[in-house]
């Protein structure tokens, strides 16, 4: 017969390890039920999971619920940067990044009322710039040139691209300062926003065929 050996210490060790595993599982289950909020890099998690610092997600991230904003909430936007990271933009912060900018230009002492070419130095490859209002603070007089007895004038402002930046033109056509020695000032308000938020459509050529009405063949968006 083969001899039978009994090792009491081995039995005790196995029993002890099993008890430790069961105790750890009970503690973990208790903590998960008592502390439903988990913090990584913070001891004061405000949500079910809060990560204080950078986090990389290899798979998809699905947001199943978006709570509506109230009047007292501070709204932010999530944007993806060129390095594929997500950043939060607080539009209430006047010194931070934003989705769009409102910039006012005060142009003083132009050639009478004429601003032929003002370079804003805003990069046209990164941003879109449009004028949304313009005013001139000096009294004007209409041109009295020949065959111009019934002239009228409205302020004309526009933006155009030259040399990779946005430029502004401003003028009162067929009008100029009544007092040519007076220094005038244009106040031009512009809207500047990232090209990531816009889409440049192609040019539509509309042949009117000497008619006063016309219609696009297809809508540009539907």
The 10s digit of each residue's pLDDT in 111-142 is 888 899 999 999 999 899 999 999 888 888 88
| pLDDT value at 8 more than 50 | no
| pLDDT value at 15 more than 60 | no
Q: Of the ranges 77-81, 109-113, 198-202, which one carries the lowest mean pLDDT score?
A: 77-81
Residue 189 CA to residue 151 CA, distance in Å, equals 27
C-alpha dist (Å) from residue 41 to 30, 44, 124: 22, 9, 41
Of residues 12 and 132, more confidently modeled: 132
pLDDT digits (tens, 9 = 90+) for 40-71: 888 888 888 888 877 777 777 777 777 777 77
What is the structure's pLDDT at 38?
Answer: 82
Residue 187 CA to residue 131 CA, distance in Å, equals 11
| pLDDT value at 222 more than 60 | yes
What is the structure's pLDDT at 123?
Answer: 93
Q: How confident is the model at residue 167 (pLDDT cuts 50, 70, 90)?
A: very high
| pLDDT value at 90 more than 70 | no
What is the structure's pLDDT at 106?
Answer: 94
Q: Point out which residues pair with 128 in neighbouring strands.
A: 193
CB atoms within 10 A of CB 61: 6
Residue 56 CA to residue 46 CA, distance in Å, equals 20
Of residues 160 and 193, more confidently modeled: 160
207: left (phi over 0), alpha (psi -120 to 50) or beta: beta
Three-class DSSP category at 103: strand
Top mean pLDDT of 17-31, 56-70, 85-99, 206-220 is at 206-220
| pLDDT value at 161 more than 80 | yes
């Amino acid at each position: 017969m083969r001899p039978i050996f009994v090792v009491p210490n081995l039995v005790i060790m196995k029993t002890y390890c099993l008890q430790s595993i069961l105790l750890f599982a009970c503690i973990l289950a208790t903590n998960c039920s008592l502390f439903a909020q988990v913090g990584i890099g913070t001891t004061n998690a405000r949500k079910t999971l809060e990560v204080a610092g950078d986090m990389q997600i290899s798979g998809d991230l699905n947001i199943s619920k978006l709570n509506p904003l109230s009047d007292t909430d501070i709204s932010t936007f999530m944007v993806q940067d060129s390095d594929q990271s997500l950043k939060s933009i607080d539009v209430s912060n006047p010194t931070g990044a934003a989705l769009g900018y409102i910039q006012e230009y005060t142009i003083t002492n132009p050639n009478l009322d004429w601003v032929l070419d003002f370079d804003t130095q805003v990069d046209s490859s990164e941003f879109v710039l449009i004028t949304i209002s313009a005013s001139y603070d000096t009294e004007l007089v209409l041109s009295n040139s020949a065959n111009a007895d019934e002239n009228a004038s409205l302020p004309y402002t526009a933006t155009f691209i030259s040399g990779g930046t946005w430029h502004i033109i401003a003028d009162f056509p067929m009008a100029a300062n009544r007092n040519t020695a007076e220094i005038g000032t244009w106040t031009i308000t512009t809207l500047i926003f990232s090209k990531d938020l816009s889409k440049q459509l192609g040019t539509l050529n509309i042949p009117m065929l000497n008619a006063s009405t016309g219609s696009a063949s297809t809508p540009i968006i539907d």
